Amino acid sequence: MKEQIFASYKDWVANQEMPNGKRSAILSALELFSKQGYDGTSTMAIAKHAGISQATIFKYFKTKQDLLKEILRPIVQNLLPNYKTEFLDSLPDKPTLKENVAFLVRDRYHFLEANSDVIMIFLSQVLTGGESKDLFIGFITESEKDFVNNIFDRFKRTGEMSPSVTPLVMLRTIGGQLLTYFLQTHKIAPQLPVDKEADLNLIIELVTKTIAAE
């Protein structure tokens, strides 16, 4: 049976066949790692949050690192490819550059928000290197052709994009804006009030002006 694509990683975990103790450990680790960081979270804290014993955690995971891998590996190997396919299949045929940018910015920011706990853990681990970084780089490399064929070419067909813009420049421009805003609202200054709609509109304007032909 084809694996169902869920709106968030939490939904995916909840629908996997596994013992309740293992599921509770994963979901609690997900929440605590995202809030306190991997190094700042102990297995004792995870057990307390999950309402289970440390022995239960070590029954399923030999180390805290194994628990982290249990969270990150399915993201790259199962969820991201499915999300990518679903996203590419749903791309609308917009006539203007700005409309294409607007769809991409809003859709991908919604994805970041829906999976904020996992994204925060993943970003922190990618920056520290190791297996998590290798997994992510592998996924990006495999996705390059899909990005060029489905998104970059779609933007080019509007006839409004600057000929000097490469796929990497476009990815860096849009991804940089989205990740910066995501980190601001979820990690750096989550207590500050924001007008998300106005902020996303500003990002759309900035990206469009940056990649548009003069």
Q: What is the mean pLDDT of the chain?
A: 88
- Tell me the average pLDDT across 11-29: 92
Amino acid letter for position 56: T
H/E stretch holding 38: none
End-to-end Cα, the chain, rounded Å: 50
The 3-state DSSP class for residue 18 equals: coil
Structure tokens at 103: 């769809």
Residues of each domain in the chain carrying CATH 1.10.10.60: 7-70
Which overall architecture, per CATH, does domain 7-70 show?
A: Orthogonal Bundle (1.10)
- What is the pTM for the complete model shown? 0.81
What per-residue confidence (pLDDT) applies to 169?
Answer: 93
Tokens of 69: 């891998």
Q: Mean pLDDT, to the nearest integer, of 148-175?
A: 92
Q: Give 41-73 pLDDT, tens digit per residue.
A: 999 999 999 999 999 999 999 999 999 988 888
**32-41, 56-65, 130-139: which range is least confident on average?**
130-139
Per-residue pLDDT tens digits for 73-113: 888 887 788 778 888 888 888 999 999 999 999 999 998 88
% of the chain residues with pLDDT over 70: 96
Q: Residue 22: what pLDDT?
A: 96
The answer to whether the beta carbons of residues 108 and 176 sit under 8 Å apart is: no
The residue to which tokens 């679903």 are assigned: 86
